[in-house]
Amino acid sequence: MVLWILLAFLTAGVAAVLLMPFARTAAATPADRAGDVEVYRDQLEELNRDRAQGLIGTQEAEYARAEIGRRLLAAAGAGSVSGTVAAKASRHRVATAIVTLLPPVLGLCLYLSLGNPGLPDQPLQARLANPGNNLALLVTKAERHLAQNPQDGAGWDLLAPIYLRSMRLGDAELAFRNAVRILGPSATRLTGLGETLVAASDGVVTDDARAAFEQAVKLDPDNPRARFYTGLGLEQAGRAPEAKDVFEKIAGESPSDAPWMPLVNEHIAKNGGQVAPKGAAGSDAAQAPGNPSSQDVAAAGQMSQGDRQQMIRGMVDSLAARLKEDPKNLDGWLRLVRSYAVLGNKAKAQEALKSGLTQFPAVGEDGKQLVALAQEMGLAAEGANP
């Protein structure tokens, strides 16, 4: 109620300011010339009497008559013009007032008839009591709870992945560490902590992140995400033989159609390995866009580190070009996003993810695979449901 009253006063004030210039008289109106007209008429009658009595000559009388007539016409015309101008100014002010005041008055009347000005504001506490599907309110409610109960490990465990998906990396790290401290380490919590640290360092597997991944692998040796990041950390540290062993073990223990196999094979080739993709050379898996063939992997083993890097980038660029021609290729988008992320090009990975979600919306089963990959790679997935 207070708000709309305030808005009404503001509207009236603005209208008054706009009308002030028109309320003033544009110029002082000329004095009433009716008296002047009568004086000039009297002068004409007096001139006629003087002429009849012979007090003034004919020529002088004509000159005087002409001058008095000119002044008489000027006085009469001035009065008429001033009346016309005043009438026009008056009509203009009325029209301006109507145009300025009518819209806010109509708007106020419509609001009073259709709106509900008596409805009270809903305080934050009431909204937090019934947040519904509002993620922001749910997070706020959980944060308030944790502020009062900081030892609630389940609350930290719930908030941590939400913070990570929202790219609130500082909050995610704190939440994961608190969950690990209170509930104890688990492969899921340690992997989430490691991925948060990697995302915060722009794709670099720091020492803390690698330690978290290594501990996660000890707790769950079959965790492919933690094992992959462990190998990636070794690769970034320049320990290529150890990284190659990690990636080769992942490849040897993974199903042939595992979605991470193309990326793992790329890292095997990058670190000097010669492991070919599983399946026949002419199979769909071997020939899918962006998959390195057995010849590619063998050739990579003979290249220098720089040449291998260039070859990998060439395959990624080739995959990107093919996806422009055939965008309805889910596996291709998954490989492209992974490849850009591993190459450290987060901007292109984000762009590829956005393009993939355009073809496969996050609400569908295919789109959910892209969203899961985005979470794994620390990317923001637009349109994803938390």
Chain segment 61-115, per-residue pLDDT in tens: 777 777 777 776 776 665 554 555 555 556 666 666 675 667 767 776 776 666 6
Instruction: Say yes or no: 74 and 173 in one domain.
Output: no
* Residue 6 covered by a domain: yes
Q: What is the pLDDT along the chain (386 residues), one digit of tens a residue?
A: 566 577 667 777 766 666 666 555 444 444 455 567 677 677 778 878 877 777 777 777 777 777 777 776 776 665 554 555 555 556 666 666 675 667 767 776 776 666 665 555 555 455 445 555 566 777 787 888 888 898 988 889 988 888 888 888 999 999 999 999 999 999 999 999 999 999 888 888 898 999 999 999 999 888 888 888 898 888 888 888 898 888 888 888 777 666 677 888 888 888 887 755 444 333 343 344 444 444 454 444 444 555 555 656 667 777 788 888 888 888 888 888 888 887 778 888 889 888 988 888 888 888 888 888 888 777 887 655 44
- Clarify whether residues 139 and 84 are in a common domain: no
Number of structural domains the chain divides into: 2
User: Is there a single domain that holds both residue 147 and residue 225?
Assistant: yes
Asked, for residue 293, whether it belongs to a domain, the answer is no
Last residue of a domain, one of 220, 238, 256: 238
Q: What is the CATH number of the domain that holds 156?
A: 1.25.40.10
Domain boundary among 179, 210, 238: 238
Mark whether 227 and 152 lie in a shared domain: yes
Q: Which of 194, 221, 238 is the endpoint of a domain? A: 238
Asked if the structure places residue 281 within a domain, the reply is no
Do 16 and 100 belong to one domain?
A: yes
Same domain, 76 and 142: no
Give the count of beta carbons closer than 10 Å to the beta carbon of residue 47.
Answer: 19
Could you tell me the CA-to-CA distances from 199 to 55, 194, 257, 347 in Å, in that order? 116, 9, 27, 13
- Nearest-angstrom CA–CA distance, 147 and 156: 11
In a domain, 378, yes or no: no
* Residue 180 shares a structural domain with residue 110: no
Instruction: For residues 158 and 71, state if they share a domain.
Output: no
Q: Are residues 6 and 90 in the same domain?
A: yes
203 and 106 inside one domain:
no
- Per the domain annotation, does 273 fall within a domain? no
Write out the residue range of the structural domain in which residue 162 sits.
132-238
> What's the one-letter identity of residue 132?
G
Start-to-end CA span in the chain (Å): 37
Q: Report if residue 137 sits inside a domain.
A: yes
pLDDT digits (tens, 9 = 90+) for 280-308: 333 343 344 444 444 454 444 444 555 55
Q: What pTM, to 2 d.p., does this model score? A: 0.43
Is the residue at 108 inside a domain? Answer: yes
Q: Which amino acid is at 69?
A: G
* Long-range contact set of residues 348-355: C-beta below 8 Å, sequence gap at least 24: 349/377, 349/379, 350/379, 350/380, 352/320, 353/379, 353/381, 354/382, 355/323, 355/327
Whether 251 is in a domain gets the answer no
181 and 143 part of one domain: yes
My answer on whether 33 and 66 are in the same domain is yes
The span from the CA of 343 to the CA of 60, in Å, is 111
